Structure formats: C-alpha cells, structure tokens
Amino acid sequence: MSIIIKGLVLQRVDGVCLLGPLDLSLAPGDRLGLVGESGSGKSLVVQALFGVLPPGVVQAGGSVTAFGTRMDVPSPGRDRIRGARLAWVPQDPGQALNPHLTLGEHLALLPGIHRNESREATLARLAPLLDRLRLPPAPAFLNRFPHQISGGQRQRISLAMSLSCEPELLVLDEPTTALDPTVQREFMDLVLELQRERGLGYLWITHDLGVVSAICDRLVVLYGGEVLESGPASRLLSAPRHPYTARLLEAARRRPAAEAGFLPAPQDRPEGCPFQPRCPGVQTTCAAWAPWQGSPEWGVRCERPLQTAQ
Ligand SMILES: Nc1ncnc2c1ncn2[C@@H]1O[C@H](COP(=O)(O)OP(=O)(O)O)[C@@H](O)[C@H]1O
Ligand SMILES: [Mg+2]
C-alpha cells in the first residue's frame, strides 16, 4: 500500500472531535471514492494526508504514511513526495492559482522544485498533456494570467499542474463541482484515461453518488467525521447497508430535495452513530457505537444494517 492512514483522529483545539478514528489505504491503480455530504470531514482527510491541517485543527491520534514516509511529521522526505509522487487537485481551482503568475509559470512550478527542470523543458514535456486537456500549448495562451481564462480552463490548468511531475497517486477534492455537466464529463474521462494508461491511483472525493459508479471501484462513506460504510462501489450502490448510504443514493436519484435534515455541527453530534437524528431506523441502542462489522475495506457500522452481509 502506498498510502496508509491508521487510527487518524482530528480534533478542534477546544477538544471537539472532527474526524475518526479513520483507517484508509490506497495503492497505485486504485480507484477509491470518498463520499459524504458537506461538512463530513472529507477535505480534512486530504489536509491530514498532505500534512497541512488548517489552524484550529490538531491531530490527536493515529498516523498517515505515504510511500513509507510519515506525512503527519515534517521531514525532507515528505517534501519530496508532496506534489511529486502524490499530488492534489484542489476543490477550488481559482483559489489554487496565483493571480501574479502566468499559466506557463504555474505549470513550471512543481517540476522546477522537484526536478530542477527549466520552464522551457517542462512546457515542451507537458505539450502532449496540454493538448489532451484541450489547453493550447502555444505561448499566446501560456502567457495569459488565471483571470484571463475560463473556469473550466483554470480547472484543467490545475489538473495539468497536479500531473506535471507524473505522480503515482492523485487526490481529487470535489474537482468538478464548479464545472458544467459536459466539462465535468470530459474531465472525468481524461482522469480515467490517465488512470488506465499510467496505472495512476486516485482518491476521488465527491458528495455526488450519481457519478461515483463511473469513476470508483471502492467507496468509503463518511458522515460526521465517521466512516459508516465501505466496500466495492457496485455493492454499495446496489445494496447499501448503512441507512445513510441509502439516503445518499436517494438524494443522487431524486436530487437534493430528498435530503431531509442536516449534518449537526461537530460540537452537537450525538453519542454513538452521528446519523441518528436523521435515520429512519433509529433505535435507543444507536446511542452506543455499534462495532464495525467486516474489514476496513468492506464493512459497515450500524446497529441494524439494511441488508445481510455477503
Ligand atoms: N480550521 C478549522 N477549524 C475548526 N473546524 C474546522 C476547520 N476546518 C474544518 N472544520 C470543521 O471540520 C468539519 C469537516 O470539514 P471539511 O473536512 O471541510 O468537510 P467536507 O470537506 O466534507 O465538506 C466541519 O464541521 C468543519 O466545520
Ligand atoms: Mg471539502
């Protein structure tokens, strides 16, 4: 396994638990999806993985390792992995681009740091990739600044930057939320092609179960900072066992109107299962945490799962 997250616990500085304990692993070639609605802790998982937790959030337990190097502990080895072997496509590409740098300068940043490659050499090497991303590799385009191109193009520049050092693993944090459906589809197809060609492994984060069947083999369902269910995507989508997974599926089919209730703030979460206040099958025993049933790769945490295990 190239990424191993073990027993990760994240807290707010006031001691309120935000995430975990979380176990998660990812290997090259893996197509793993992390799903859950807004506020579940998906982006915190990414930040922990890259060792860049925001102020106000501390790691209270567990470990995060990539390619055998701890990512939650500063080291030169960690700096060599970030952006090179393990790359990140952020949630908001506009935010990730610097208004003072041209697109060409953006693309040359990571290869300059990790490979000591000149801008000319990087742009020549990346020309076929830019072509496939339908970004003109010509100076007239590469000399532009981020605000001079469309949102979809900024997204693709951001993806090209993440791929610029030919990473083995990619983390995509809701990369298509800002895109219209056609561009979203193109973006997904391109990442899928690269995955097949290069054996790239990815962790794709989304709150939309409607798209995961096309892009993921394995799913982890996160709610209120807890993993409620995990397993093969085809199984979770056809026979969800946690009522929350079932609710997400309904919402994906019928659009957000089906989503009754909301995720409580971290300090207001109930003891036991975080989904209790919204669960149609809630019972008194849900106030105590049901033990995880199964392996970390395939299991559920529920007092009364919807279907029996295979
Ligand atoms: N810097 C922070 N300080 C305090 N709480 C935070 C901070 N960042 C995120 N949180 C809280 O952690 C929870 C998970 O956030 P996040 O990982 O961004 O969710 P998601 O990406 O699933 O929408 C939320 O309740 C959020 O309010
Ligand atoms: Mg997020």
Give the tens place of pLDDT for each residue, 53-76.
999 999 999 999 999 999 999 999
Q: How many angstroms separate the alpha carbon of residue 123 from the centre of ligand 2?
A: 31
- The residue with greater pLDDT, 284 or 95, is 284
Q: Which of 89-93, 117-121, 267-271, 276-280 has the lowest mean pLDDT?
A: 89-93
pLDDT at residue 177 in the model: 77
pLDDT in tens, 217-235: 999 999 999 999 999 999 9
Q: How many angstroms separate the alpha carbon of residue 39 from the centre of ligand 1?
A: 6
Residue 277: asked if its preceding bond is cis (omega within 30°), the reply is no
Distance between CA 58 and CA 13 in Å, rounded?
Answer: 6
Does 35 sit in the ligand 1 pocket, CB within 6 Å? Answer: no
Q: Which atom of ligand 1 is nearest to the CA of 46?
A: 17
Q: How many angstroms separate the alpha carbon of residue 48 from the centre of ligand 1?
A: 12
- Ordered by start, the domain boundaries in the chain are 1-85+169-182+199-263+290-310, 91-164
pLDDT in tens, 236-294: 999 999 999 999 998 888 755 455 678 889 999 999 999 999 999 999 999 998 999 99
Contact 170, 199 (CB under 8 A): no
Does 267 sit in the ligand 1 pocket, CB within 6 Å? Answer: no
Q: How many angstroms separate the alpha carbon of residue 93 from the centre of ligand 2?
A: 13
What residue type is assigned to position 12 of the chain? R
Neighbours of 211 (CB within 10 A): 18
CATH topology of domain 1-85+169-182+199-263+290-310: Rossmann fold (3.40.50)
Q: CA-CA distances (angstroms) from residue 30 to 2, 105, 258?
A: 10, 31, 31
| Spatial strand order in the sheet of 3-12 | 17-26, 3-12, 57-66, 69-70
Residue 309 in this model has a pLDDT that exceeds 50: no
pLDDT at residue 119 in the model: 96
If 0-12 CB within 10 Å is exposed, 13-18 middle and 19+ buried, where does residue 166 land? middle
Distance between CA 169 and CA 282 in Å, rounded?
Answer: 39
Q: Which of 71-75, 151-155, 168-172 has the lowest mean pLDDT?
A: 151-155
Residue 130 in this model has a pLDDT that exceeds 80: yes
Does 15 sit in the ligand 1 pocket, CB within 6 Å? Answer: no
